[in-house]
Amino acid sequence: MERVFNFSAGPCTLPLDVLKQAQEELINYQGTGMSVMEMSHRSAAYSSIITEAEKDLRDIMNIPDNYKVLFLQGGATLQFASIPMNLMKNGKADYMDTGSFANKAIKEAQKYGEVNVVASSKADGYAYIPEAPAPSADADYFYITSNNTIYGTRFNAFPETGDVPLVADMSSDILSREIDVTKFGLIYAGAQKNMGPAGLTVVIVREDLMGHSKDFTPVVMDYATEADKGSMYNTPPCYAIYVAGLVFKWIKNLGGIAAIQKINEDKAAMLYDYIDNSKLFKPVANKDSRSIMNVTFRTGDDDLDAKFVKEATAKGMTNLKGHRSVGGMRASIYNAMPVAGVEAVIAHMKAFEEANA
Ligand SMILES: *Cc1c(COP(=O)(O)O)cnc(C)c1O
């Protein structure tokens, strides 16, 4: 069977070159006589894998030396708790409520301190990114979700937060566009959308923000400990880090994030252009807040949506069904989705529109 075009929101498609290299090295990694899965995380071979993965990530994202890169477990969701435990020195933080993951982060943070929801688009079905207000003077940090995976919205520009550290959940758009890391106090992302397999969470944190964790913070959630131990206080997600490392090299070889950003913008523009000119398909997200990673659209008729998704699957385009809370369709077109996949979905939309006009 051919590989499908997999539009899943995550876990999702990985670059074919990366999968092939992992396959080639699966049983005997570079003459070690064993798989990366079977290797001690303290071995010399593994030590170079994790060191190189960090170095490549630092290179492609241009991460300054005063930021630590942590390779952790627990998914993005564990960070909803880790962030307040580590950063809420004075017990207060500002949060923007721009989607269901932001909302979950808010609910989790409320267990550890005072959460100020400074803006929300919840009442409008999270269709747009609201204007960011100035941070509260006494906030320990200002929290955003840079790309809202479920609704298909993103921050085009990031809030200016002055001395208040900006914290961003970039799970679904890290490595998709150039960002200035120095504008952020902390960036984190689950790997399974744009970096690699599930099981790895990357945290990029400014050094001065560490070392203030609450006494009850579990040791594996304490950034200072993890930084001190090179993400190896305990066994890290070894194989996921290895595959993410291959993805970082894949991006480097493509010409870095600037090159991939251009491709991503072109892919998204193709799809949105079609939707904007279609008589059948309508966009879900407001134009000024559109994501270039998760493109949401619908016909307005649930049965027709279901038929579209079913016929797409039969043609080898899978997981186009929208999230159950939004309905309609969602095409997740992360870094690894080839242009041909976007062309295929547009061709299907055209044929479907003609057949169902
Ligand atoms: C997928 C996702 C999450 C949840 O990630 P897990 O790794 O499943 O915990 C959180 N935030 C955003 C923006 C996501 O896209």
Sheet holding 142-145, edge to edge: 67-72, 201-206, 186-190, 166-169, 142-145, 92-97, 114-120
Question: What's the pLDDT score for residue 268?
Answer: 98
pLDDT of amino acid 337: 98
Give the pLDDT score at 184: 98
Q: Are 352 and 28 in contact (CB under 8 A)?
A: no
Average pLDDT of the segment spanning 237-261: 98
Backbone angles phi, psi at 117, to 5 degrees: -80, 100
- Kindly tell me if the per-residue pLDDT of 1 is higher than 80: no
Residue 249 tokens, joined: 């090299």
pLDDT band (50, 70, 90) for residue 357: confident
What span, in angstroms and rounded, lies between the C-alpha atoms of 284 and 261? Answer: 23
Quote the strand ranges of the chain, DSSP E: 5-6, 67-72, 92-97, 114-120, 142-145, 147-148, 153-154, 166-169, 186-190, 201-206, 282-283, 294-298, 317-318, 329-332
| pLDDT at 207 (0 to 100) | 98
Q: What is the pLDDT of residues 129-158, one digit of tens each?
A: 999 999 999 999 999 999 999 999 999 999
* Token representation of residue 80: 């909803």
C-beta of 79 in contact with ligand 1 (< 6 A)? no
Cα 141 from chain centre: 20
Residue with tokens 């998914």: 75
37 C-alpha to ligand 1 centroid (Å): 24
* Contact 155 CB / ligand 1 (< 6 Å): no
What is the C-alpha to C-alpha distance for residues 225 and 232, in angstroms, rounded to an integer?
9
125, pLDDT greater than 90: yes
Is 190 near ligand 1, meaning CB less than 6 Å away? yes
Report residue 59: phi and psi, to 5°.
-65, -55
Report percent pLDDT > 90 for the chain. 99
Q: What share of the chain is helix, strand, coil (3-state, %, to 5)?
A: 40, 15, 45
CA 144 to each of CA 66, 187, 319: distance values in angstroms, whole numbers, following the listed order: 22, 10, 27
Nearest 5°: phi and psi at 250?
-60, -45
Q: Summarize the confidence of residues 254-281 as an average pLDDT.
A: 98
Residue type, 195: M
Phi, psi of 313 (to 5 degrees): -60, -40
Does the bond joining 236 to the residue before it have cis omega, within 30 degrees of 0?
Answer: no
Angstrom CA distances, 183 to 63, 104, 164, 186, 191, stand at 11, 24, 10, 9, 22
315: CB partners within 8 A, 6+ apart: 344, 348
In this structure, which residue's CA is closest to atom 13 in ligand 1?
A: 171
The model's confidence at residue 162, banded by pLDDT at 50, 70 and 90, is: very high
pLDDT digits over 49-67, tens only? 999 999 999 999 999 999 9
Fill in the DSSP letter of residue 90: S
pLDDT band at 307 (very low <50, low <70, confident <90, very high): very high
Name which residue sits closest to atom 14 of ligand 1, judged by CA: 171
The owner of tokens 């169902």 is 356
The mean pLDDT value for 228-251 works out to 98
Tell me, using a 6 A CB cutoff, whether residue 73 lines ligand 1.
Answer: no
Closest CA to 240 of 288, 284, 291, 196: 196
| Contact (CB, 8 A) for 220 and 226 | yes
Q: How confident is the model at residue 39 (pLDDT cuts 50, 70, 90)?
A: very high
User: For the residues 153-167, what does the mean pLDDT come to?
Assistant: 97
Q: What is the pLDDT of residues 174-195, one digit of tens each?
A: 999 999 999 999 999 999 999 9
**Closest atom of ligand 1 to CA, residue 198:** 7
Question: Which of 25, 77, 65, 17 minimizes the C-alpha distance to 49?
Answer: 25
What was the pLDDT predicted at 282? 98
* pLDDT (0 to 100) of residue 74: 97
For 72, the enclosing helix (H) or strand (E) is strand 67-72
Q: For residue 251, how far is its CA from the centre of ligand 1 (angstroms)? A: 22
Q: What is the pLDDT of residues 82-117, one digit of tens each?
A: 999 999 999 999 999 999 999 999 999 999 999 999
